[in-house]
C-alpha cells in the first residue's frame, strides 16, 4: 500500500494539494484550503484489471416502463422533482439558512406519512424542536419516524433493511459524520463520504433520499461540485428573507426537466403553494408608473409574468452607479451600451437601478426587451402601457431577436387581462410563414425589430436622442 501522505483540499471546489497554501489555484478563493485525511488507496488488484468478473450487458430498450412516481401531494414539489419522487433517487435541497428547507421537508414528510414510511433525521435541531415545528405546521399526529442523529454508520445500519423506509430526510448533510473518514464534519471529505454511504443504502433499499445542504456565502453548497455530481436531483430553495415568496428551482434532474420552478409563500402555518405565480408577482403593481414593465417570462415549462422596475436618476458620482437585483448586472451593462450606441440615449451621467419585483431571479435573455422598455420609460418619464407585456432578446447591433415559447407567453398574458404584447418581429414573421393565426391570443401584437422601435413607443424620447433616427 502506498504511504499515506497528508492532503490539503480546497473546501470550495475540492481541488487537492500536497502542501497548504493561502489561495486555491483552481477556484481562486482565499483561505479555503484545509488539511484532510488522505484519499483512500485502491485495494490491490482493482487497478490492474485482473481478477474482475465480467459484467452482464443489457439492451438500451429495456422494459420501457418509466420509474414509478410517488406523489408528495405538494404539487409544486412534485413538479420540480419531475412529477413525483422516484424510488432510490437522491435529492439535494440547497438554500440559505432560514429560507425554509427544514419546513418544506417536514411538511412533505407530514403529508407523505399517510401512505408511506417517512424518516426524518435531524443533525441540527433537538427532537423537541422538530416536534414543536410539526405542531405549528399541523402535522403533530403524522406518522413520521423522527430521530436526532449525526453518525452515518448508525443511520445506515438503521435503514439498511427491506422496507425500513420509503422516504428519508437528512437535515443536514454538513452535520453528518462518518468514522471512516477522519476529518471534521462539514469538510469536503466528510460530506462526500457521508453522502456516498447514504446514497448507496438509498439505492440498495429503494427509498427516496433528501439531503439538505447549506449554501456558503458565495452561493454554492459547501463541498458543492462533489455532491452535485453524486445525487440525481439538485434543488435550490431561493428567495429573499424579506419577502414571503420562496422559489424551489431544479438545477439538475436525472428524472425530469431542469429549470422547473415551484413557488411557495411562507406563512405563519408553513409554506403554502402558489398555484398562479404571475398573479402573485403582479399583485402589488401600480399601473401607469414610469420605469415599470411587465415581462412575460418562462420558468421551466411554466409562463411567469413578473414586473421589472427601473430607476434612472441624475448621478453626483464620477462613475455612475449601476445596481441590479434579480438580474445579471453584466447583461444590464450590455443593454445600456446598446441603447446608447444604437438608440442614441445618453445614460452616462445617470445612476441606474434595476429590480425584479417579488424576489424572483431571472436568467432568460428574453428579458432584454422588457429591461430596455423599463429603462427607456424611467429615462423619459413616460409609462409603459399598464396593459402591455414585453419579451425579446436584444443583440449587440440593437436588433431584437426571437425567443422561444411565444404562444405560451401570450396565452398567460391574455389570461391575466393584458391587451398588448411588445415582441420580436422575427417571431411573428416566422409564425406567418408557417401560416399560424396571430390573433388567437386576443392581444394586440406590436412588432419590435430594433431597440429604436421600443424607444419610439415613448413620446418624450425623441427629444432625448442625440442623433436623428435613421433607417435600420
Ligand atoms: P427553516 O425551515 O428552519 O429554514 P432552513 O431549514 O432552510 O434553515 O425556516 C425557518 C424560517 O421560516 C424561520 O425564519 C421562521 C420561518 N417560518 C415561518 O415563517 N412559518 C412557519 O410556519 C415556520 C415553521 C417557519
Ligand atoms: Mg433547517
- Distance from the alpha carbon of residue 404 to the mean position of ligand 2, in angstroms: 38
Residues 270-293 have pLDDT tens digits of 999 988 888 878 888 887 889 999
The single-letter DSSP state of residue 39 is P
Cα(23)–Cα(177) distance, rounded to whole angstroms?
Answer: 27
Q: Positive or negative, the Cα torsion across 450, 455, 459, 463?
A: negative
**Cα atoms in the 13 Å half-sphere on the side-chain side of 118:** 23
Pairing between β-strand 302-314 and β-strand 350-356 as defined by DSSP bridges: antiparallel
Please tell me the pTM assigned to this model: 0.77
- Distance from the alpha carbon of residue 101 to the mean position of ligand 1, in angstroms: 8
Ligand 1 proximity of 133 Cβ (cutoff 6 Å): yes
Cα(457)–Cα(461) distance, rounded to whole angstroms?
Answer: 8
Does 469 or 410 have the greater pLDDT score?
A: 410
In this predicted structure, what is the pLDDT of residue 419?
Answer: 92
SS3 labels along 175-235: HCECCCCCCCCCCHHHHHHHHHHHHHHHHHHCCEEEEEEEECCCCCECCHHHHHHHCCEEE
Cα(293)–Cα(310) distance, rounded to whole angstroms?
Answer: 9
What is the residue whose three cell numbers read 450606441? 341
Residues 263-274 have pLDDT tens digits of 999 998 899 998
Residues 102-135 have pLDDT tens digits of 999 999 999 999 989 999 999 999 999 999 999 9
**Between the CA of residue 184 and those of 176, 190, 221, what are the distances in Å?**
10, 7, 17
Ligand nearest to the CA of 100: 1
Q: Which residues contact 112 (CB under 8 A, 6 or more apart)?
A: 70, 72, 73, 118, 166, 167
**Highest-confidence range of 46-50, 256-260, 272-276, 449-453, by mean pLDDT?**
449-453
Q: Which residues contact 414 (CB under 8 A, 6 or more apart)?
A: 441, 442, 443
Cα(137)–Cα(235) distance, rounded to whole angstroms?
Answer: 22
Secondary structure class of 83 (helix, strand, coil): coil
Cα(41)–Cα(338) distance, rounded to whole angstroms?
Answer: 56
**Closest atom of ligand 1 to CA, residue 104:** 2
Secondary structure class of 236 (helix, strand, coil): strand
| pLDDT at residue 6 tops 70 | no
44-48, 56-60, 191-195, 234-238, range with the lowest pLDDT = 44-48
In this predicted structure, what is the pLDDT of residue 11?
Answer: 80
In 96-166 the beta strands, taken as DSSP E runs, fall at 118-122, 144-148
Whose alpha carbon is nearest atom 12 of ligand 1?
Answer: 100
| pLDDT at residue 331 tops 90 | yes
Ligand nearest to the CA of 103: 1
Whose alpha carbon is nearest atom 1 of ligand 1?
Answer: 100
Smallest CA-to-CA distance from 305 within 458, 376, 378, 408 is with: 408
What string of DSSP letters covers 309-328? EEEEEE--SSS--EEEESS-
Q: Which residues contact 185 (CB under 8 A, 6 or more apart)?
A: 150, 174, 175, 176, 177
- Distance from the alpha carbon of residue 254 to the mean position of ligand 2, in angstroms: 25
In this predicted structure, what is the pLDDT of residue 218?
Answer: 62
**Cα atoms in the 13 Å half-sphere on the side-chain side of 201:** 24
In this predicted structure, what is the pLDDT of residue 469?
Answer: 46
pLDDT band per the 50, 70, 90 thresholds, residue 348: confident
Mean pLDDT across the stretch 427-434? Answer: 70
Mean pLDDT across the stretch 36-44? Answer: 59
Ligand 1 proximity of 100 Cβ (cutoff 6 Å): yes
Tell how far CA 431 is from the center of its chain: 31
Cα(14)–Cα(25) distance, rounded to whole angstroms?
Answer: 11
Smallest CA-to-CA distance from 306 within 323, 332, 326, 288 is with: 326
Q: What is the mean pLDDT of the chain?
A: 86
Q: Specify whether the CB–CB gap between 201 and 161 falls below 8 A.
A: no
Q: Which residues pair with 325 in a beta bridge?
A: 355
Q: Which three cell numbers stand for residue 416?
A: 391575466
pLDDT > 70: percent of the chain: 90
Does 112 or 217 have the greater pLDDT score?
A: 112
Whose alpha carbon is nearest atom 8 of ligand 1?
Answer: 98
- Distance from the alpha carbon of residue 248 to the mean position of ligand 1, in angstroms: 15
**Between the CA of residue 306 and those of 147, 195, 232, 360, 431, what are the distances in Å?**
41, 37, 30, 8, 25
Q: How far apart are the first and last CA of the chain?
A: 72
Q: Which residues contact 296 (CB under 8 A, 6 or more apart)?
A: 303, 305, 370, 389, 390, 391, 409, 410, 412, 413, 421
- Distance from the alpha carbon of residue 105 to the mean position of ligand 2, in angstroms: 9
- Distance from the alpha carbon of residue 213 to the mean position of ligand 2, in angstroms: 9
Ligand 1 proximity of 290 Cβ (cutoff 6 Å): no
**Closest atom of ligand 1 to CA, residue 95:** 7
Which residue of 129, 266, 272 sits with most ligand 1 atoms within 8 Å of its CB, as the best mutation to test the pocket? 266
- Distance from the alpha carbon of residue 229 to the mean position of ligand 1, in angstroms: 28
Cα(77)–Cα(208) distance, rounded to whole angstroms?
Answer: 14
In this predicted structure, what is the pLDDT of residue 40?
Answer: 55
Q: Which residues contact 224 (CB under 8 A, 6 or more apart)?
A: 12, 13, 213
**Closest atom of ligand 1 to CA, residue 133:** 24
Which residue of 103, 138, 216, 239 sits with most ligand 1 atoms within 8 Å of its CB, as the best mutation to test the pocket? 103
| pLDDT at residue 472 tops 50 | no
**Closest atom of ligand 1 to CA, residue 172:** 6
Does 441 or 238 have the greater pLDDT score?
A: 238
Which residue of 100, 171, 266 sits with most ligand 1 atoms within 8 Å of its CB, as the best mutation to test the pocket? 100
| pLDDT at residue 54 tops 70 | yes
Q: Which residues pair with 439 in a beta bridge?
A: none
Amino acid at each position: 500500500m502506498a504511504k499515506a501522505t497528508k492532503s490539503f483540499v480546497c473546501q470550495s471546489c475540492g481541488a487537492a494539494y500536497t502542501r497548504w497554501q493561502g489561495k486555491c489555484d483552481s477556484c481562486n478563493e482565499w483561505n479555503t484550503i484545509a488539511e484532510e485525511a488522505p484519499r483512500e488507496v485502491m485495494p490491490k488488484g482493482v487497478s490492474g484489471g485482473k481478477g474482475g468478473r465480467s459484467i452482464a450487458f443489457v439492451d438500451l430498450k429495456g422494459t420501457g416502463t418509466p420509474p414509478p412516481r410517488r406523489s408528495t401531494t405538494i404539487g409544486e414539489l412534485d413538479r420540480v422533482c419531475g412529477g413525483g419522487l422516484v424510488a432510490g433517487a437522491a435529492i439535494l435541497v440547497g438554500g440559505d439558512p432560514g429560507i425554509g428547507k427544514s419546513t418544506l421537508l417536514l411538511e412533505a414528510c407530514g403529508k407523505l406519512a399517510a401512505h408511506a414510511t417517512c424518516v426524518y433525521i435531524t443533525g441540527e435541531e433537538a427532537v423537541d424542536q422538530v416536534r414543536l415545528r410539526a405542531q405549528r405546521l399541523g402535522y403533530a399526529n403524522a406518522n413520521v419516524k423522527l430521530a436526532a442523529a449525526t453518525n452515518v454508520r448508525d443511520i445506515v445500519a438503521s435503514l439498511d433493511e427491506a422496507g425500513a423506509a420509503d422516504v428519508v430526510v437528512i437535515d443536514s448533510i454538513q452535520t453528518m459524520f462518518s468514522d471512516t473518514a477522519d476529518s471534521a464534519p462539514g469538510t469536503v471529505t466528510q460530506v462526500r463520504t457521508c453522502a456516498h454511504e447514504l446514497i448507496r443504502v438509498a439505492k440498495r433499499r429503494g427509498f427516496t433520499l433528501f439531503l439538505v445542504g447549506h449554501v456558503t456565502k458565495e452561493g454554492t453548497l459547501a463541498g458543492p461540485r462533489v455532491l452535485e455530481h453524486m445525487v440525481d436531483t439538485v434543488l435550490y430553495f431561493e428567495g429573499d428573507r424579506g419577502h414571503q415568496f420562496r422559489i424551489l428551482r431544479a438545477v439538475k434532474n436525472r428524472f425530469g426537466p431542469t429549470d422547473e420552478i415551484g413557488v411557495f409563500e411562507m406563512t405563519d402555518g408553513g409554506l403554502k403553494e402558489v398555484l398562479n405565480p404571475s398573479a402573485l408577482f403582479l399583485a402589488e403593481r401600480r399601473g401607469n408608473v414610469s420605469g415599470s414593465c411587465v415581462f412575460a417570462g418562462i420558468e421551466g415549462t411554466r409562463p411567469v409574468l413578473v414586473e421589472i422596475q427601473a430607476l434612472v436618476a441624475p448621478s453626483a458620482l464620477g462613475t455612475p452607479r449601476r445596481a441590479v437585483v434579480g438580474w445579471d448586472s453584466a447583461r444590464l451593462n450590455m443593454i445600456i451600451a446598446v441603447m446608447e450606441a444604437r438608440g442614441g440615449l445618453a445614460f452616462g451621467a445617470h445612476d441606474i437601478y434595476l429590480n425584479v419585483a417579488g424576489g424572483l431571479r431571472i436568467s432568460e435573455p428574453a428579458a432584454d426587451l422588457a429591461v430596455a422598455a423599463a429603462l427607456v420609460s424611467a429615462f423619459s418619464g413616460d409609462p409603459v402601457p399598464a396593459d402591455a407585456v414585453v419579451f425579446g432578446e436584444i443583440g449587440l447591433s440593437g436588433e431584437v431577436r426571437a425567443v422561444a415559447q411565444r404562444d405560451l407567453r401570450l396565452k398567460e398574458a391574455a389570461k391575466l387581462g393584458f391587451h398588448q404584447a411588445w415582441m420580436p418581429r422575427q417571431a411573428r414573421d416566422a409564425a406567418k410563414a408557417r401560416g399560424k393565426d396571430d390573433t388567437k391570443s386576443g392581444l394586440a401584437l406590436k412588432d419590435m425589430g430594433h431597440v429604436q422601435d421600443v424607444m419610439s413607443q415613448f413620446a418624450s424620447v425623441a427629444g432625448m436622442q442625440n442623433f436623428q433616427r435613421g433607417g435600420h
